[in-house]
Amino acid sequence: MLKDVFVVAATSFVALPALAQTCAFTMECYETEACQDTSFALTAELDDSKLVTDFGDLTVVGVKRDAPLITVFATGEGAEYLLSRNGDTARFTAHSNDGPTAITYLGTCEGEF
Protein backbone atom coordinates (compact mmCIF):
# COMPACT_ATOMS: atom_id res chain seq x y z
CA MET A 1 0.00 0.00 0.00
CA LEU A 2 2.75 2.46 0.93
CA LYS A 3 4.56 1.54 -2.30
CA ASP A 4 1.42 2.44 -4.32
CA VAL A 5 1.18 5.82 -2.60
CA PHE A 6 4.86 6.51 -3.35
CA VAL A 7 4.44 5.62 -7.04
CA VAL A 8 1.39 7.90 -7.38
CA ALA A 9 3.20 10.75 -5.60
CA ALA A 10 6.35 10.35 -7.72
CA THR A 11 4.49 10.31 -11.03
CA SER A 12 2.33 13.30 -10.18
CA PHE A 13 5.41 15.56 -10.44
CA VAL A 14 6.26 14.51 -13.98
CA ALA A 15 6.34 17.56 -16.25
CA LEU A 16 3.55 17.72 -18.78
CA PRO A 17 4.40 18.74 -22.34
CA ALA A 18 3.91 22.40 -23.09
CA LEU A 19 0.85 23.11 -25.15
CA ALA A 20 1.29 25.32 -28.17
CA GLN A 21 -0.48 26.43 -31.30
CA THR A 22 1.18 26.87 -34.65
CA CYS A 23 -0.54 29.31 -36.96
CA ALA A 24 0.04 29.81 -40.69
CA PHE A 25 -1.25 32.92 -42.43
CA THR A 26 -1.72 33.10 -46.19
CA MET A 27 -3.42 36.48 -46.61
CA GLU A 28 -2.18 39.93 -45.52
CA CYS A 29 -4.41 43.03 -45.48
CA TYR A 30 -2.82 46.44 -44.87
CA GLU A 31 -5.28 49.13 -43.80
CA THR A 32 -7.82 49.65 -46.60
CA GLU A 33 -5.61 48.31 -49.39
CA ALA A 34 -6.53 45.09 -51.21
CA CYS A 35 -5.40 41.92 -49.44
CA GLN A 36 -2.40 40.06 -50.83
CA ASP A 37 -0.99 36.54 -50.61
CA THR A 38 1.66 36.08 -47.93
CA SER A 39 3.50 33.38 -46.02
CA PHE A 40 3.72 34.20 -42.32
CA ALA A 41 3.76 31.86 -39.32
CA LEU A 42 3.80 32.12 -35.55
CA THR A 43 3.74 29.79 -32.58
CA ALA A 44 1.71 30.63 -29.48
CA GLU A 45 3.53 29.35 -26.37
CA LEU A 46 1.24 30.37 -23.54
CA ASP A 47 3.20 28.44 -20.87
CA ASP A 48 6.07 30.84 -21.62
CA SER A 49 3.76 33.86 -22.19
CA LYS A 50 5.03 34.49 -25.70
CA LEU A 51 4.19 34.43 -29.38
CA VAL A 52 7.19 33.33 -31.43
CA THR A 53 7.38 34.98 -34.86
CA ASP A 54 9.90 35.39 -37.66
CA PHE A 55 10.42 39.01 -36.62
CA GLY A 56 10.91 38.28 -32.90
CA ASP A 57 9.11 37.10 -29.79
CA LEU A 58 6.05 38.97 -28.53
CA THR A 59 5.03 39.08 -24.85
CA VAL A 60 1.57 37.70 -24.09
CA VAL A 61 -0.24 40.05 -21.70
CA GLY A 62 -3.62 38.31 -21.59
CA VAL A 63 -5.75 35.44 -22.85
CA LYS A 64 -9.53 35.41 -23.13
CA ARG A 65 -11.34 32.10 -23.56
CA ASP A 66 -14.96 32.46 -24.60
CA ALA A 67 -15.65 29.13 -26.31
CA PRO A 68 -15.29 28.54 -29.13
CA LEU A 69 -13.25 31.77 -29.48
CA ILE A 70 -9.78 32.11 -27.96
CA THR A 71 -8.15 35.54 -28.04
CA VAL A 72 -4.51 36.25 -27.19
CA PHE A 73 -3.33 39.80 -26.49
CA ALA A 74 0.39 40.48 -26.94
CA THR A 75 2.82 43.38 -27.04
CA GLY A 76 6.11 44.01 -28.78
CA GLU A 77 8.34 46.88 -29.72
CA GLY A 78 6.27 49.54 -31.47
CA ALA A 79 2.98 47.64 -31.73
CA GLU A 80 0.19 45.74 -29.98
CA TYR A 81 -1.04 42.37 -31.30
CA LEU A 82 -4.23 40.33 -31.23
CA LEU A 83 -4.53 36.64 -32.19
CA SER A 84 -8.08 35.29 -32.46
CA ARG A 85 -8.90 31.64 -33.12
CA ASN A 86 -12.27 29.99 -33.67
CA GLY A 87 -11.79 26.32 -34.55
CA ASP A 88 -8.99 26.18 -37.11
CA THR A 89 -9.71 29.67 -38.48
CA ALA A 90 -7.36 32.41 -37.24
CA ARG A 91 -6.87 36.14 -37.54
CA PHE A 92 -3.75 37.99 -36.35
CA THR A 93 -3.63 41.77 -36.25
CA ALA A 94 -0.75 44.13 -35.63
CA HIS A 95 -1.70 47.60 -34.40
CA SER A 96 1.24 49.91 -34.92
CA ASN A 97 1.85 52.75 -32.49
CA ASP A 98 3.11 54.75 -35.48
CA GLY A 99 0.10 56.18 -37.23
CA PRO A 100 -2.00 54.35 -36.01
CA THR A 101 -2.02 51.65 -38.65
CA ALA A 102 -3.17 48.04 -38.68
CA ILE A 103 -2.19 44.93 -40.61
CA THR A 104 -4.46 41.88 -40.57
CA TYR A 105 -3.36 38.33 -41.36
CA LEU A 106 -5.86 35.56 -42.19
CA GLY A 107 -5.04 31.88 -41.83
CA THR A 108 -5.35 28.77 -39.69
CA CYS A 109 -3.97 27.40 -36.41
CA GLU A 110 -3.25 23.84 -35.27
CA GLY A 111 -2.62 22.54 -31.78
CA GLU A 112 -4.13 23.43 -28.42
CA PHE A 113 -3.45 25.50 -25.36
Number of domains into which the chain is organized? 1
Alpha carbons 106 and 84: distance in angstroms, whole number: 10
Per-residue pLDDT of the chain (113 residues; tens, 9 = 90+): 444 433 444 444 444 445 678 999 999 999 999 999 999 999 999 999 999 998 899 999 999 999 999 999 999 988 999 999 998 899 999 999 887 899 999 999 998 65
The partner residues of 51 in beta bridges, in order of sequence, read 44, 58
> What per-residue confidence (pLDDT) applies to 19?
63
48 SS3 class: helix
Does residue 49 lie within any of the structural domains? yes
Does residue 59 lie within any of the structural domains? yes
The partner residues of 41 in beta bridges, in order of sequence, read 24
Does residue 8 lie within any of the structural domains? no
Beta-carbon contacts of 44 under 8 Å, excluding residues fewer than 6 positions away, are 20, 21, 22, 23, 51, 60, 72, 83, 109, 113
- Cα-flanking dihedrals φ and ψ of residue 2, to 5°? -65, -35
Does residue 102 lie within any of the structural domains? yes
In terms of residue numbers, what domain contains 61? 44-113
